[in-house]
Amino acid sequence: MDGRRHSWFVPAFSLALTLALSVLPLPDSVAPLRPDWVAVVLVYWSLTTPHRFSLLTAFWMGIAIDTLSGALLGQNALALLVVVYLAERFHLRLRVFPVSQLALTVFGLLGLYEFILFWVDGVAGRTVPLVERWVPPLTGTLVWLAMLMFFDRGQREARERL
């Protein structure tokens, strides 16, 4: 019972923290490096403990980012939905990958996330630069690797629980 409550608290806290991180003011020189925190964390959780979050969570998190960041309502929600759906759909196949390939996959997913945002911006006729777009997936993958190492023990426990 105690373990269950714990397992509910950690992800909920991580999601709230993630939202805060994604709007935390950074100096202009560092700001372009900011990873897409929410996407990284949701991908991390859906690859390690796939049954924890529903698509609905991804949807609401996306709506929260849209509201916070003043983006088109539904833009981040759609991108998150696609990424989380893919991660959860194929987590059984991805799970057997070595870490290097897994990292590549995560980079691909985060790249897709950025691409959807960029695409929607383009369709909506908003002017956005293209050049800096590939940086957040890169830093996001690094953050994901760091999370993997840091939470490795917890992750192994979670796998055993499955």
Partner 1 sequence: MSAPGRNTPGFGRSGFSVGARFVLLAVVCVALMLLDQRNQHLQQVRGALSVVVYPLRVLVDLPFSTWQSVRSSFAQRETLIAENEQLKRERLEAEFRLQRLESLETENARLRELLDSTARVGSRALIAEILAVDLDPYRQRFDLNRGLVDGVFVGQALIDAQGVVGQVVRVGPLTAEAVLITDADHAVPVSVNRNGLRTIAVGTGDSGRLRLPYLTNNADIHEGDLLVSSGLGGVFPSGYPVARVIEVRLRPDQAFAEIIAEPASALDRDREVLLVWNATGEAPRAAEAAAAASVADVQ
* Residues that bind partner 1 in the complex, under the rule CB under 8 A: 16, 19-20, 23-26, 28, 31-32, 34, 50-51, 53-56, 59, 62-64, 67-75, 77-78, 81-82, 85, 88-89, 91-92, 120-121, 124-129, 132
Q: Which is nearer to partner 1, 1 or 56 (CB)?
A: 56
Residue appearing with tokens 């608290």: 9
CB of 38 to partner 1, least distance (A): 13
CB of 4 to partner 1, least distance (A): 16
- Which of 118, 134, 141, 132 has its CA nearest to residue 43? 141
Q: Would you give the DSSP letter of residue 120?
A: H
CB of 125 to partner 1, least distance (A): 7
CB of 140 to partner 1, least distance (A): 13
Do 114 and 36 touch, CB atoms closer than 8 A? yes
Do 129 and 159 touch, CB atoms closer than 8 A? no
Q: Which is nearer to partner 1, 53 or 144 (CB)?
A: 53
Query: What number of other Cβ atoms are within 10 A of residue 43's Cβ?
Result: 26
Q: Which is nearer to partner 1, 124 or 146 (CB)?
A: 124
**What is d(CA 15, CA 18) in angstroms, rounded to the nearest whole number?**
5
